[in-house]
Structure 1
Amino acid sequence: MTQRGNRRELLAEAAVEVLARDGGRGLTHRAIDREARVPEGTTKNYYPTRNALFEAIAHHLAERHVAALEALCENVPDDIGAEDVTALYAAMLGRMSGSARSHFLALFELHLEGVRNPEVRALLGEISRASVDTAVQLHAAVGRPMGRRGAGLLDAGMLGVALSALSLPADLVDDLGLDDTRGLTRALLSLGAIRDEQALEVLSDWAG
C-alpha cells in the first residue's frame, strides 16, 4: 500500500474512534488530527468537508465488514452445524458491545447520518446486504433455509439489541437480559427463520 493509502487508513480509523467517542457533533478535522497524531490540517487535506468525513468512515466500515463476511463465507466448514451458526452470531452480538464497540457505535451514528446523506445510506446498504447474504448462505449450509426477509429481520434485530445494550442503563440491561447474547441470538435466529408472511403476522400481532 502506498504512503497515501496508509495515511487514509490511519485517518479513517481515527475518525471512527472520534465518532464513536464524541458523536457527530464532535467529528471535526482537528479532533481526528489529534486522534491520529498527525499535523493539524492533515485530515482537512484528505477530506475537506464534514460530508467527506462521514462518507470516508462509512466506506471504511463497509469495506471491512464486507471483506470479513466474504472471507467467512469462503471458509465455511463442510461439517458446520446449526449450533455453530448460533455460536457465531452470539459472538458477533458480544463483539458489538465488546471488542468492536467503537466500530458499532460509529455505525449507529452513521445510521443517523444516513437519513440525510444518500452516499452514507448507500454504503450502509452494502453492509446490510453483506450481512443478509451471509445469513442466507450460512443457513443454507446447515439445511435450515432462511429467506432474505428473514435474514433482514435478523440483521435489524442484531443491531437493535446491540444499540439497546450499549445505550440503556446497566441495571436495565441486566433486568431485561440484553446481555444474554446466547439467549438473544437463539430468539433472533428463530424469528428470522420464520417464513416472510409468518414473520409479518407475528410482528403485526405484537404491534396490535
Structure 2
Amino acid sequence: MPQRGNRRELLAEAAIEVLAQEGGRGLTHRAVDREAVVPEGTAKNYYPTRSALLIAVARHLAEQHTTALRQLVSQAPAGLTSADITKLYASMLRRSAGNARSQYLALFELHLEAVRNPEVRTALAEITRANADAAVELNAAVGHRMTRRGAGLLDAGMLGVALSVLTLPEDVADELGLSDADGVAQALLAVGSTDGEPVVGVLRDCAS
C-alpha cells in the first residue's frame, strides 16, 4: 500500500484489491473504505460515484504501467538480445498469475466496464499504447522491425493468455501449453513480428 498521506493513491490501490477479490459488482465505496482501513465515507468524499471510482482505478493503473514501461525502455542495456526480450515477456506472463495477480484481475474487470464507460476505455487505451510503444522500441534495439499492428497483436495475445491462465483450470492451461511462459512469450513475439504472415508457419518455427 502507498503512504497513507496520499489518500487518492491509497484508495485507488484499495479499489484494485476489491475488484480483484470481489469483481465489479463488489466495488462499493464502503468496500474500498474497509480495504483501505479509512473512516467510512472517505472513498465517497474523493470519488462521489462508482463511475468516478472506476475511472480513478483505470487512470491509476495506466499511470503506473506507462511509467514502468518508459523506465524499462530507457534503462534497457546496450547488449540487449532477442533472448532477453523473450525472458522479459515470459516474466510478465508469470507476474500476471503471481505478484501482479490483483492488478491483472482488476484490469480485466475494467475491460468489461470499458464497454459502457468511455473514460475507462480512454485510460485502458493509454496502457495498450504504452505496451505497443515498448514492444516496438525493444525489438528495434535488437535489430527487429515490429510494426504497431504487430505490437498490437503481441499485446492482445499477452492479455488473452494472462486471462486464460487466471481463469482456466490448471490442468487445461497445462494441456494447452499456456502455462509455459517461455514458450508462449516466444510464440507471441514471433507472431507480432510477422505482422500478419501465416501464423501456423510462425508457430511451427517456434516449436522447432
Counterpart residue number, 1:19: 19
Counterpart residue number, 2:123: 123
The CA deviation at 1:148 is: 0.5
Counterpart residue number, 1:206: none
Counterpart residue number, 1:148: 148
Counterpart residue number, 2:68: 68
Which secondary structure state, in structure 1, belongs to the residue aligned with residue 39 of structure 2? Answer: coil
The answer as to 2:196 corresponding to 1:176 is no
The CA deviation at 1:178 is: 1.3
Structure-to-structure mapping, 1:80-95, within 5 angstroms = 80-95=80-95
Q: For residue 195 of structure 2, what is the amino acid of its counterpart?
A: R
The CA deviation at 1:5 is: 6.3
Q: Deviations over 1:83-126 (max 9, x none)?
A: 00000000011101111000000000000001110000000000
Q: Which runs of 4+ in 1 moved over 6 A?
A: none
The aligned length equals: 198
**TM-score of the two chains, using structure 2 as the length reference:** 0.92
Q: For residue 35 of structure 1, what is the amino acid of its counterpart?
A: E
187-196 or 78-87, which deviates more:
187-196
| CA–CA separation in structure 2 for the residues paired with 1:130 and 1:121 | 14
Q: Deviations over 1:127-148 (max 9, x none)?
A: 0000000000000000011100
| CA–CA separation in structure 1 for the residues paired with 2:149 and 2:133 | 11
**TM-score of the two chains, using structure 1 as the length reference:** 0.92
| CA–CA separation in structure 2 for the residues paired with 1:108 and 1:50 | 17
Q: For residue 45 of structure 2, what is the amino acid of its counterpart?
A: N
| CA–CA separation in structure 2 for the residues paired with 1:150 and 1:5 | 42
Which secondary structure state, in structure 2, belongs to the residue aligned with residue 40 of structure 1? Answer: coil
Structure 1 unaligned segments of length 5 or more: list them.
204-208
The CA deviation at 1:7 is: 0.7
Q: For residue 117 of structure 1, what is the amino acid of its counterpart?
A: N
Counterpart residue number, 2:104: 104
Identical positions, percent: 65
Structure 2 unaligned segments of length 5 or more: list them.
201-208
Q: For residue 103 of structure 2, what is the amino acid of its counterpart?
A: H
The CA deviation at 1:195 is: 3.1
Aligned-residue RMSD, C-alpha: 1.4
| CA–CA separation in structure 1 for the residues paired with 2:88 and 2:119 | 30
| CA–CA separation in structure 1 for the residues paired with 2:98 and 2:149 | 28
Counterpart residue number, 1:55: 55
